[in-house]
Amino acid sequence: FDRRPSASDGNLRSTALQECLGQLSPKSSQLIAWRYEHGWDAARIAEQSGRTVDAIYQAMSRIRASLAECIEQRLAIDGGAS
């Protein structure tokens, strides 16, 4: 059975993302804000945070993976994964 995504699926995913973002640590939340709200690149985030560019890439990769896992779990619980 092939189920195509609907508009309500997007709403569920968006809600799940917001809930998962709310569960991030303050440090992770700050990195996400700098990247996606302010549009900063890794070099600027590294400079602001006192970390290396590689450390920023690694941290963002871990945060994205964590968010993806959280979203999928939320969708499964909320019935988004039928």
The amino acid at residue 25 is: S
Closest CA to 15 of 62, 65, 75: 75
pLDDT at residue 6, as a whole number:
52
Instruction: Between 56 and 81, name the one with better pLDDT.
Output: 56
pLDDT at residue 9, as a whole number:
65
**Start-to-end CA span in the chain (Å):** 10
pLDDT tens per residue, range 4-52: 555 556 789 999 999 999 999 999 999 999 999 999 999 999 999 999 9
pLDDT at residue 77, as a whole number:
86
